[in-house]
Structure 1
Amino acid sequence: MTSDAHGTRDIVEALLGRIAEGDYPRVAELFAEPVDWRLDWPVEGHPAVPWIRPRSSRAEVADHFRSLAAHHVPELNGTSVARILVDGADAVVLGEIVQTVKANGVGYSSPFALHLTVEDGLITRYHIYEDSLTVARALTA
């Protein structure tokens, strides 16, 4: 139940690549069941942001990324990764989310930190910290 830094980095890079490609079933394949999932919002989520809610299964992981994509203009996604830090089974991805809401055309940006843990080649922890209030405000503008 461990992962070396090289294996962790490989899984993180595979995750980021699959997210960028929009291949959500293949994104979900990288996750353990159950997964320790947390987004930077109260556990019950927010009614204006349907993808911010508790998740634990691969099907729910795929649904998260599909829902996120369905609410944004893909051509205007400027999300970027600045750094990937790896320490054994743990990785932190630092970057900036840049999106435009499909329903109202409102753009927003937020720095983010994503804490991942990889064990036996699968992601067992996915905790993302972002300015969720900015996201909610953009969706309700």
Structure 2
Amino acid sequence: MAVSAPTTTRVVVDELLRRIGEGDPERIAELYAERGDWRLDWPESEHGRTATPWIRHRSTRADAAAHYRELAEHHVPGAGATEIERILIDGDDAVVFGEIRQTARPTGHAYRARFALHLTVERGLVTRHHVYEDSLAVAQAFDTEGPGEDH
């Protein structure tokens, strides 16, 4: 998606979600600015854990591609889905609400995690990506010590 003319927030968000659904990290990352603000609402002490290395703050387009690669590497292919329930747009900002259903590759545990994704789009590219999700459900699914039954 070349960004030459002004692009609406809704168009960029829809395209981002479509590309995430397709699963190509490089194509997804094309929609992120070279530098951005990427935050995850997880306790700092839990960022970058061995079991969930994709969970950490990021700041570049290359980081965005790495996030989607790491996410794919740690989940069972074809054993997940994302349901988008609502997208709210306010100028350059968008909030996406939904639920992720995945299966952790190392444990085989399925999980569901509700989420809100706050995006900011400037000049046709995502400059803010803040995720608020059910981190307990994700952590439990990757816990090799716990039960992990479809949280």
Q: Is this a same-fold pair by TM over 0.5? A: yes
Q: How many residues align?
A: 137
Measured against aligned partners, the alpha-carbon deviations of 1:30-69 in whole angstroms (never above 9, x if no partner) come to: 1112111001113451413100012111111000001001
Matched with 2:147 is none
So what's the TM-score if we normalise by structure 1?
A: 0.91
Do structure 1's residue 96 and structure 2's residue 96 form an aligned pair? no
Q: Is the 8 A contact 1:43 1:54 kept in 2?
A: no
Measured against aligned partners, the alpha-carbon deviations of 1:102-134 in whole angstroms (never above 9, x if no partner) come to: 121100101100000001101010001001122
Unaligned stretches of 5+ residues in structure 1:
none
More helix by share: 1
State the 4+ residue runs in structure 1 displaced beyond 4 angstroms: none
Of all paired residues, the percent bearing the same amino acid is 58
Do structure 1's residue 41 and structure 2's residue 51 form an aligned pair? no
> Equivalent of 1:121, from 124, 142, 147?
124
Bigger radius of gyration, 1 or 2? Answer: 2
In structure 2, the CA distance between the partners of 1:123 and 1:63, relative to structure 1 (3 Å rule), is: same
Q: What is the letter of the counterpart of residue 117 of structure 2? A: L
Matched with 1:109 is 112
Unaligned stretches of 5+ residues in structure 2:
1-5, 145-151
Using CA pairs under 8 Å that are at least 6 residues apart, name the structure with larger relative contact order, 1 or 2: 1
Equivalent-residue separation in structure 2 for 1:19 and 1:71 (angstroms): 16
Q: What is the letter of the counterpart of residue 131 of structure 2? A: I
* Counterpart mapping for 1:51-90 below 5 A: 51-90=54-93
